[in-house]
Amino acid sequence: MAEPELGTRQRCLARRLADQREFVLCIILLAIVGVVAVADPGVLTLDNLSAVFLALSFQAIVGIGMTNLLVSGGFDLSVGSTVGLTGAVTALALVSGVPVPAALLIGLALGAAIGLANGLIIAKIGINPFITTLGMMGIVRGLLEVITKGQNIYGLPDAFKWIGQGKLLGIQHPILICLALVVLGDLALRKFRFFRQNYYIGGSEKAAVLSGINVDRMKIFNYVLTGLLAAVAGVLMAARFGSVSVTMGKNLELQVITAVIIGGASLQGGEGTVLGALLGCILMSLIVSAMTLFNVDIYWNTLIIGATLLVAVLIDVLSKRKRSVT
Amino acid sequence: MADNVILQLRGITKTFPGVRALDHVDFELRRGEVHALVGENGAGKSTLMHIVGGIYRPDAGEILVGGRPVRFRSAHDAAMQGISVVYQELSLAPNLSVAENIFANRQPVRAGNLIDWSALDRRSRELLHRFHLDLSPRTLVRHLSVAQQQVIEILKAMSYRPRVLVLDEPTSSLTAADTQRLFRNMDRLKAEGTSIVYISHHLREVFQVADRVTVLRDGRHVETLPARQPSGHPGTATSRAVAGGTPAVPGGDAAASPAAGLTEDAIVKRMVGRTLGNIYGERASEIGPEYFRVEGAAAGRFSDVSLSLRRGEILGLAGLVGSGRTELARAVFGVSPLTAGRITLEGRPLRLRGAGRAIASGLGYLTEDRKGQGLFLRMSVRANCIAPGLARFADRLGLMDERRVDQFAEASRSRFDIVTPSIGQTVGNLSGGNQQKLLLAMWMGITPKVLIADEPTRGVDVGAKSEIYALLRQLAATGVGIVLISSDLLEILGLSDRILVMRQGRIAGEFPREDATEENIVACAAGVGRECPP
């Protein structure tokens, strides 16, 4: 469906809810949880659930930026590499004695810089997002391999590791940070005029230009934001695992894009919500967990995730087709 | 059934979710005739032709070709029966050549099913020559203007040598010269035995070219009338439907008068079910002092353009397609760069870079391409309404005030009479006339001081046109000056207080309302005769 449908009282409540992707996803999630609970009630402990959430929290953080970007019609394949490089650079800085706050700043600034590079090339030079970020993906991952020479980075200071491994009120930090950012991100995209512009840009770039929206500036901002949030995830992951490997973040971009699209975004632009992206991440995680529970071979994971994506998009396309008059 | 009827539709009914597009419609096409099909947007003309072309299947009714009932399962079936349809939406491949587009999917082949390029070239040249077109078959379609592309689209259909040729709004992007060439080619096809269905909003063309005319309204067949005396020669239109009447366009050979008693007025009355009278309206208030000037504006496609606008004045900007009017408008609005020139509004110079600044300064621009650049087709009516004025619907913190948006959208809907089930409706589903009214609502909603309206009634039926003219008049009455760019001469003559003519990127002449006639405007625009010497 298009931009968040707010304020329309026309159709009946049930139909409007069904149109909302988030609502449908919630139902499906509850259904899966229900099935799992029936199969093995012992699985539904707070510990297990938070372990599942913890694993997906990094994905969800990246998903916030990716949702905003997809809404505006953009696309970023380089986020996984950015997660890896920013984590590594921060780690290297820490290992060289840089104080924690400064090291964090360096990592975040790097993420923003990568996003800026993407944004400038796409908005000002005009190379399409797919090719630009595909190239950037290679460049950034390559930089990571060069500076680490393929070795893992260990020996991170405890103060730093606390950021990723600490708990507050019994909930791990990454989960809290993820939830906070998701709430902020969802509100921003749903309610603020500044972010509403992205829906228009995604709807029709030319019409957005004529309507007075500064499309170039917004695009650059969107890519910087995406890079910055990827850096947050990267730094957080480094803190959580206490080490950084060369493969950190590999394939993350595809998982995030899949989750965001399941959550309601479209590659054409003009659609999507951050809440939907989070639900998409949760759904993907739950499916994998449920499969583990039912002793399904782990090799089926990739297939099932791919199938979920196609089914989600298929349902969306078919329901749209029925509703519009040819 | 009579022997000279090549195509007959009986009792055709077609329903889409929520709307009955066609209701037991009968239609009959005789051999060798040009049969015009007219009606408002939503009357069912396009739907009927989609059925004739095999794209839609009727829910009820039958189709007979050459006396035999047929059932089309696809466009291919229709093509096999000798029916060729040129739809409004262009379907050319922009990165292929003219020749490859004309013979799309039927390229001549030689041994081994390889494309015979020289035969393709030769046959394309023959075809282009036969239809008097000065184009190279090797030109890539994307390098052609929209007008030329439309001509190629028509040529593609004609190259099938169909028994039945359907043209849906073929002249919407054509110049006057192209239109006349099209009519001459249609005559040739008629002489060769092709029967033609001609759909158009331009009723004067109907008189020029049609033998009979059928009027549809709300999905029903209203009436089929003879459009001309049986003289057989293409004539010139003599219609005096516009109050204050404009003289007949000269030229053309043996003038055939339209069938006794049939005027544009009569057709319009059957189309809308009521008389429209003078759709252009009258000036409602005084014109104020000059307040907007453009001096010496220049960019790629125009140079040394100066104009002034007074409060409440409607300034018509006439010219041939390609004369630089839209480029001028976009440059004045700030979306394309100006290499020279000064723009002043209310005495203050405007430094315009980007539409945002232009809008903030009080300019508004209604683009000629409402689908591609004006509206957000996948978004709702309410979202579109507020697009140019987004900032006005956010509070101090930057939060969108959804209730105000709803109020504004509902108010716009009723004030501009936009027909839509709700303000949440996707704009792509609205009819052309309602889309155009929505575009007008968007731009009048930001209360501009100056409005540049580029082709504000292109592809819009006569009922919606009169509504749009009334709205423009209302806007002018509040003191807003309007620059009206239009290829519809009657529209320019009917609405404007003053008319500027652009020719090849320069202002060629200026006519006050009293002095302007179709002939002198056309002559000035084309650079012929003694009007506006170069």
In this model, does residue A97 exceed pLDDT 70? yes
CB contact under 8 A, B379 and A2: yes
Asked if the C-beta of A325 comes within 8 angstroms of chain B's C-beta atoms, the answer is yes
Task: Read off the pLDDT of each residue in B412-440 and give the average, rounded to a whole number.
Answer: 90
CA B485 distance to own-chain centroid: 13
In this model, does residue A8 exceed pLDDT 60? no
Contact list, B399 vs chain A (CB under 8 Å): 191-193
Task: Residue B33: count other Cβ atoms within 10 Å of its Cβ.
Answer: 20
Task: Read off the pLDDT of each residue in B395-403 and give the average, rounded to a whole number.
Answer: 92
Nearest CA in chain B to A16: B424
- Say which DSSP state A3 is in: S
Of the residues B14, B376, B408, B434, the best mutation for testing chain A's interface (the one with the most A CB atoms within 10 Å of its CB) is B376
If one compares A324 and A49, the residue with the highest pLDDT of the two is A49
Task: Provide the H-helix boundaries in B247-323.
Answer: 264-272
Best-predicted range by mean pLDDT among B129-133, B232-236, B368-372?
A: B368-372
pLDDT at B258: 52
pLDDT in tens, A275-314: 999 999 999 888 888 887 788 887 888 888 888 888 878 8
Q: Where residue B2 falls among pLDDT bands split at 50, 70, 90?
A: low
Asked if the C-beta of B372 comes within 8 angstroms of chain A's C-beta atoms, the answer is yes
pLDDT at A14: 55
CB contact under 8 A, A212 and B358: yes
pLDDT at B254: 36
Q: What gap in Å lies between CA A38 and CA B313, rounded to an integer? A: 75
In this model, does residue A7 exceed pLDDT 50? no
Q: What gap in Å lies between CA A192 and CA B220, rounded to an integer? A: 47
**B140-150 burial, b if ≥16 CB within 10 A, otherwise e?**
ebeebeebbbb
Of the residues B379, B381, B403, B446, the best mutation for testing chain A's interface (the one with the most A CB atoms within 10 Å of its CB) is B379
**CA B371 vs CA A212, A239, B364, B414, B428: distances in Å:** 17, 50, 17, 22, 8
- How close, in Å, is residue B374 to chain A by CA atoms? 5
- How close, in Å, is residue A104 to chain B by CA atoms? 30
pLDDT at B534: 65
CB contact under 8 A, B355 and A210: yes
**CA A231 vs CA A24, A249, A277, B262: distances in Å:** 31, 11, 18, 74
Q: What percent of chain B has pLDDT over 70?
A: 91
CB contact under 8 A, A212 and B388: yes
3-state secondary structure B432-475: HHHHHHHHHHHHHCCCCCEEEEECCCCCCCHHHHHHHHHHHHHH
Q: What gap in Å lies between CA A198 and CA A70, rounded to an integer? A: 9
CB contact under 8 A, A199 and B383: yes
If one compares A184 and B226, the residue with the highest pLDDT of the two is A184
- How close, in Å, is residue B467 to chain A by CA atoms? 24
Answer for the pair B414, B441: CB distance below 8 angstroms, yes or no. no
CB contact under 8 A, A200 and B356: no
Q: Is B76 exposed, middle or buried (0-12, 13-18, 19+ CB in 10 A)?
A: exposed
Please choose, from the candidates B314, B308, B306, the residue with its C-alpha nearest in 3D space to the C-alpha of residue B291. Answer: B308
In this model, does residue B342 exceed pLDDT 80? yes
In this model, does residue B253 exceed pLDDT 50? no
- Residue B278 φ then ψ, to 5°: -80, 105
In this model, does residue B360 exceed pLDDT 60? yes
pLDDT at A302: 80
Of the residues A72, A210, A319, the best mutation for testing chain B's interface (the one with the most B CB atoms within 10 Å of its CB) is A210
Q: Where residue B251 falls among pLDDT bands split at 50, 70, 90?
A: very low
Least confidently predicted of A72-86, B78-92, B437-451: B78-92
Q: Where residue B237 falls among pLDDT bands split at 50, 70, 90?
A: very low
Asked if the C-beta of B373 comes within 8 angstroms of chain A's C-beta atoms, the answer is yes
In this model, does residue B24 exceed pLDDT 50? yes
Answer for the pair A312, A281: CB distance below 8 angstroms, yes or no. no
Task: Provide the H-helix boundaries in B131-250.
Answer: 146-158, 176-191, 203-209
Q: What gap in Å lies between CA A193 and CA A197, rounded to an integer? A: 6
Query: What is the overall mean pLDDT for chain A?
Result: 88
Beta strands B506-512 and B498-503, pairing class: antiparallel
- Sequence-distant (6+) residues with CB within 8 A of B333 are A210, B352, B355, B358, B363, B365, B452
CB contact under 8 A, B376 and A194: no
- Say which DSSP state B43 is in: S
If one compares B145 and B26, the residue with the highest pLDDT of the two is B26
In this model, does residue B361 exceed pLDDT 90? yes
CB contact under 8 A, A212 and B373: no
User: Residue A191 is nearest to which of B354, B399, B424, comparing CB atoms?
Assistant: B399
CB contact under 8 A, A10 and B360: no
CB contact under 8 A, A325 and B429: yes
Tell me how long chain B is.
534
Nearest CA in chain A to B421: A10
CB contact under 8 A, A204 and B375: yes
Q: Where residue A67 falls among pLDDT bands split at 50, 70, 90?
A: very high
Both structure tokens of B233: 């020669």
Q: Where residue B147 falls among pLDDT bands split at 50, 70, 90?
A: confident
Q: Is B347 exposed, middle or buried (0-12, 13-18, 19+ CB in 10 A)?
A: exposed
Of the residues A211, A268, A319, A325, the best mutation for testing chain B's interface (the one with the most B CB atoms within 10 Å of its CB) is A211
Strand, helix or coil for residue A210: helix
